[in-house]
Structure 1
C-alpha cells in the first residue's frame, strides 16, 4: 500500500482533560512512521483493519478487541485494507496508573492487542466519541477499573523487587518543576534522595520510560499545546526549550510518527 497520507485523513481531539488525552482518527493508508511515546496508548478499532508493527511482528486490530501499546515500545500505523481504518485512542500517563496501583511494576500486554472482556468493558467509558464529555468522577472510576483490568489481562509476575515509588515520584515532580533548565541524572538523584542508577531502573519500571525521554516528552507536550493554540512552529520550539524548529520536528517525528506541521493540519476542533 502506498505510504502517502490520504487527503481524507483526519484527527479529532476531545476537550482537554487533566488526566488523559482522547482522540478519534481516520487514515486511508499510511498513518504513522515508527515511533514511541511514554504513555500507554489504549484504544479500539471502530471500522476497517488497523495494522501496525510492534515487538518484531505485524499486528492487525479489528473491531471488538482492545489495543494496548506499552510506554516506550516502538510502533507504526497503517490501514490493512483499501477501506482505511477508523479508531479511538486514549493516552494515559504511567504516573496516573501508578497512583492507582501504588508502586507495582506497570502491567504489560505482550502483543499489543487483547481480547480480554474485562479490559474491553473497563476502557469503554474512556473511549466514547470525542464530542461526548466525560464527567470527572466517571473518568476517575473508569481509570481505576482500567488500571486493575490491565493488571488482570497482563497476568501477575512474582519474585521481583518492588521499585521505590516515593523516590521515583520525587524525581518526576522535580522534572515538572524544572523544565526551564538543564536537568541531569545527578539532579534527579539528589531530588529523589536515591542512588542514581537504582533511580534510573525504578523510573523505567514505574513510569515506562527513561528519565531523559520523560524530560524530552514533557517538552513536546508543551510544544503541542502551543501549536494547537495557534503558535507558529518556530515560536513553539523556542518556548518549549528546543534549540530550533528542526530540533522540535526531529523529536516530534520520533515520538509521534509524523512532523508537527502535518499533525497541526490534520487537527479538527
Structure 2
C-alpha cells in the first residue's frame, strides 16, 4: 500500500493485492476509488460486487465490506478516503449523497477521481482540492439521483469577480480563501 501526502480530512492510497486482501471491516469515511488493473471483488450491502478497470467504487461510512482479487493476476486500485465533514462543506446544507450501488461505470466520474489519485507523490494544492471536491460532489449527487442545483445569478457574478481577481494576480499563487 502506498500513501500520499494529503490535506486534513482526505487520504489517498494505491493498493495491490493477490487473493483475499482484507476481512470484513468498516471505515469512518467515504471510500471512493478506481480499479486500475485486475478484477476487484468484495461483499457490500449484502451482495457480491466486482469492479473492473476504470470503474468507480463508492463505499459509504460505516458500511461493512471485504475485498480481494477476483483473478490470479491480482488487482491494483487507488482509493480516496474522505471525511463526511469535508463533503458537507461542499453541499451547502443538502444531504450527503447516497449511491446505492457500490460500483459505478462513468468515465467522467473516473477522470475526476484520477485527477486527484495520481500521481500520489504530488501534494494537492488547496485550490485544486476545492475544485475537485465540488466536481466529486456533483458526480456523487448525480449517481444518488439528486437533482442538479441550478446556478444562481449571484454565482455568475461571483465567477466574474473571481476571474477578474485571478487575472489581476497572475504573478502569484492565489489561495481559494481569497
- Structure 2-normalised TM-score? 0.78
Gapped regions of structure 1 (runs ≥ 5) = 1-10, 158-269
**2:6–2:123: 8 Å Cα contact kept in structure 1?**
no
Encode CA deviations 1:134-170: one digit per residue, 9 max, x unaligned.
222111110111012110111028xxxxxxxxxxxxx
Length, aligned pairs only:
147
**1:24–1:129: 8 Å Cα contact kept in structure 2?**
no
Secondary structure of the corresponding residue to residue 32 of structure 2? strand
Partner in structure 1 of residue 72 of structure 2: 82
Partner in structure 2 of residue 63 of structure 1: 53
Deviation at 1:17, TM superposition (A): 1.9
Secondary structure of the corresponding residue to residue 77 of structure 2? strand
Q: 2:2 aligns with which of 12, 23, 42?
A: 12
Deviation at 1:65, TM superposition (A): 1.1
Deviation at 1:127, TM superposition (A): 1.5
Encode CA deviations 1:217-252: one digit per residue, 9 max, x unaligned.
xxxxxxxxxxxxxxxxxxxxxxxxxxxxxxxxxxxx
Partner in structure 2 of residue 119 of structure 1: 109
Residue 52 in 1 paired to residue 18 in 2? no
Partner in structure 1 of residue 87 of structure 2: 97
- Structure 1-normalised TM-score? 0.52
**2:41–2:69: 8 Å Cα contact kept in structure 1?**
yes
**1:119–1:153: 8 Å Cα contact kept in structure 2?**
no
Encode CA deviations 1:59-110: one digit per residue, 9 max, x unaligned.
1111111111111111001110011110100001111110011222211111
Higher strand share: 2
Gapped regions of structure 2 (runs ≥ 5) = 148-178
CA distance in 2, matches of 1:97, 1:53: 25
CA distance in 1, matches of 2:74, 2:17: 6
**RMSD of aligned C-alpha atoms?**
1.4
> 4+ runs of 1 displaced by more than 3 Å?
none
